[in-house]
Amino acid sequence: MDTDCWAAIVAAGAQSEREAVRARLAEVPFGYPERQRVLQRARGLVEGCRRRAGERSLLDLFLQEFGLSNEEGIALMCISEALLRIPDDDTAEALIAEKLATANWAGHLGQSDSLFLNASTWALMLTGSAIGLGDDVTGDVGGWLKRLTGRIGESVARAAMSRTVRILGGEFVLARTIEEALARAGTRRPFSFDMLGEGARTFDDAAHYAAAYRHAIGTVGSAGLGAMAGISVKLSALHPRYQPLQRERVLRELGDTLLDLARDAAAHEVSLTIDAEEAERLELSLLLFDRLASDHALKSWDGLGIAVQAYSKRAPAVIDYLDGLHRSIPVRLVKGAYWDTEIKRAQVEGLAGYPVYTRKPSTDVAYLACAAKLLRSRSLVPQFATHNAHTVAAVLELAAGPGKAYEFQRLHGMGELLYDEARRRFENLPPVRVYAPVGAHKDLLAYLVRRLLENGANSSFVNRFLDDKVSLAEVVRDPVATVAGYHGAPHPRIPLPRDLLRPVCVNSRGLDLGNRGEVDALRCAAGAWREPLRGDDSAVDVDAAAHRAATAFPAWEATPAAARRACLDKLADAIEADRSRFVALLAKEAGRTLADAVAEVREAADFCRYYGAQCERLFSAGETLPGPTGEANTLELHGRGIFACISPWNFPLAIFTGQVAAALAAGNTVVAKPAPQTPAIATVAAELMHAAGIPEDAVRLVLGGPDVGAALVAHEAIAGVAFTGSTATAKRIQRSLAAKDGPVAVLIAETGGQNAMIVDSTALPEQVTDDVIASAFRSAGQRCSSLRVLYVQADIAEKLLAMIAGAMDTLAIGDPADSATDIGPVIDQAALAKLQRHVESMRGRILHQCPVPTRLDGPYIGPTLIEVDSIADLDAEHFGPILHVARFAADQLGTVLTDIRNAGYGLTLGVHSRIHRRAHEVMATVKAGNTYVNRDMIGAVVGVQPFGGEGLSGTGPKAGGPHYLLRFAVERTVTWNTVATGGNAELLSLEP
């Protein structure tokens, strides 16, 4: 793809939302008369559909009755998403019972015209009521269901729900196989077959999906349907690492596979459409599409198509790029299927803005602008995918008169009545192609339901247009007038990622991994740093450092809180400005990969800003307390004195900076000792602290090993210790502090953990795999929060563990300075030897281990999966890319939780389950500082997920939380007798 083309696409994405929306408004070629004509036609369409309400599809009826804006609709969708993949009856019954017992089914009784829906509602009402009235849902729900069926043996509720879900699945999914799909589709209307749901997690998955696509192309081609049938291809199904940092690898490994499929499709005269995916993958998709479009063997083929998402600010520039390829390209214009995912990702990654519009009417306007651009294009073939009556009417208006051929598209099971009514009313309605998922319900339904949940908010046209209780004016609105009314402004309740933590502080700046220019610029800047690493200073004088810090304490403690905050804010800015330097140092000294290094720089900056804000809130003025008249009582916070901050090598910038920033914010001075493995990072960070206005003697750095740390802890001047590291070292510090004469020093300790994750049979295997790989192996497993023991329900263990092992094989082990590396080295040879001894001791229980490439020189160990019976088999935390897995039967969960609790740790805990009651049961038994439900277990964000454990995992309070600074402070109460020099003026002045 031409560099200038990509630059134009990037520039479009960099626009503010207001700028982008205003540009789209200007591109919609409608004056007032045209807009009124569109509104009239759209209202007529809706009125016509409402008069034919008896012809609605089951899916339309379902969405109208239950929708996604009430508890009942959400409950049914949750059951549909999970039920068919659950292999064991007890868990299936528990899921059904929980979801049905909390909803009001009686309110839907008799409300639908569908006999099936009314009968289902009766069954749901009776089942839900019986559960709610006859049993405690937090108790033995499965037992109640078994008692309900008595001698029958099989749960009636489970059987009924399975049948209901399969019927609904038939509305979502056209057929199980491509042969069945062709037979059901017939030859009267055009189809595009979507063969898959989830993307590949393993190379075996990718090969299987490629074979499925190849078979579908051959089967459709043999049917001789020509333009009446095509195949939609999901690129993330063809490569398990379809991610921007794997760019060269993906282009090399996936490119040939995709080219073979395209040539096969061309030979069979079957159209092939590249489906749209998440925003960060856009460049990859376009690069691969460009390769297909420029292939000599495909030059004369007009069946190569691509989907474009109108909710993306980059969509118009993408259309311009496609038109510039000067070949006939079918372009499927959709509004977009990952909206909430894109919003969250931008917030989590700290991007400058959102890649999508934050208001639905803005997306509607963008769709019309893109539609107009497609209809004006030189060589593109427009395909308009929509279920919105106004959009249909608007496209017809845009395409009025002689012009190019185009078509509409709809999803199988949805929109049939809308388009049938349009065909009755408009003679010029073009063909309507059906986008039809094909595959087993258990494989596709979870994916399709999540797509529907993403786009099925109660503002959705699909949910409301057949509802007589919703006025026509509300259902059919002119998006141009709506957007003009708010002047293109973004949604007021969706702040920019930078403002996510306001009013407390601003969010740190991240890196857009989907922007090749931004990533390459950081790589080049980091590669330019040739800073020599600094060794330990054997002549360090702990006593001199403590003396200087003691001397500086009175002045720093007296510095106003606002001034201390200003220094910390300046420090945060400096850390972000020096990001490339720290990325280079983190790779060289700590083995951090690019993504992990960027995240660590962000965390360090977040600590500074967050603690600065807390400092100003807590330390600016005392808190006024109640008391008798004539007296003023105030509670004040002050620094304790000198803090020893002892930080680890695994987060050598973030934890080092966080400890020191917290101590300084509370008015203390600091003697900081970083880990001996990472002295250069700490040295540069300390230099930035001094440059930010923090006095040199307020932060003194001492380098060295355990002996230096022991001397620092034992020093008489130390008023407190902030420590992150092993539990054994924390206990030694605790004993050392207790043995000192003089004032009692405080200890704030964050230590390790045997962190566990519980996965039951309701969990989605692909989601679990992603989260396990991240939790266990990111940072080479060298995080205190890393997953150490994975408990998997035995019913799904074989399939899940095979998927995890396959996903492990996709990880790139290599030089952390290479942006494509997933797994770097462990910290040093001593750590490697310890891990190797543990693996060797488990030699007969190793399920899978990734080989280390022979070209690598250093302390590398491949990710390893080891089976154990229980967490009790482990006598220590093994700090590296080693994951232990244990299986449990559904009725053994209580024993599993007891074993985890008895291990004594309490740092992080993961739960993957669609049953909320089960997640609460796990949390109630296993006391962990940070619990993560249905997501990975790492990457706690300052001010969002305060981090710290209990038991053997630390003392608290939590780092990055609102109570952390209190432990660094002393409290003093001041009482003034305000009437000591006269009468009580306040009391005497009260009105009678």
Q: Which residues are catalytic?
A: 750, 784
Residue 372: strand, helix, or coil? helix
Q: Are strands 756-759 and 746-750 parallel, antiparallel or unpaired?
A: unpaired
CA distance 43 to 223: 40
Which class for 973: exposed (0-12), middle (13-18), buried (19 or more C-beta within 10 A)? exposed
Instruction: DSSP letter for 783, please.
Output: S
Residue 221: strand, helix, or coil? helix
Taking alpha carbons only, the member of 676, 419, 713 closest to residue 542 is 713
Torsion of CA 264, 268, 271, 272, to 10 degrees: -20
Taking alpha carbons only, the member of 889, 923, 910 closest to residue 91 is 889
Instruction: DSSP letter for 855, please.
Output: T
Number of other CB atoms surrounding residue 458 within 10 Å: 11
Tokens 């053997």 -> residue: 952
Could you give the residue ranges of the DSSP H alpha helices within 675-754? 679-691, 706-714, 727-739
Phi-psi region of 943 (alpha: psi -120 to 50; beta: other; left: phi over 0): left
Phi-psi region of 190 (alpha: psi -120 to 50; beta: other; left: phi over 0): beta
CA distance 909 to 896: 13
Judge whether 549 and 671 are in contact, CB under 8 Å: yes
Side chain identity, residue 525? A
Tokens 């003025």 -> residue: 621
Taking alpha carbons only, the member of 644, 674, 640, 671 closest to residue 656 is 674
Judge whether 636 and 618 are in contact, CB under 8 Å: no
Judge whether 514 and 281 are in contact, CB under 8 Å: yes
Sign of the torsion angle spanned by Cα atoms 834, 840, 841, 845: positive
Write the DSSP assignment of 478-542 as a string of letters. Answer: -HHHHHHHTTTPPPTTS--GGGTTTTT-PPPP---TT-HHHHHHHHHHHHT--PPP----TT--H
Distances (CA, A) of 895 to 291, 523, 737, 870: 55, 49, 38, 10
Judge whether 567 and 690 are in contact, CB under 8 Å: no
Sign of the torsion angle spanned by Cα atoms 912, 916, 921, 925: positive
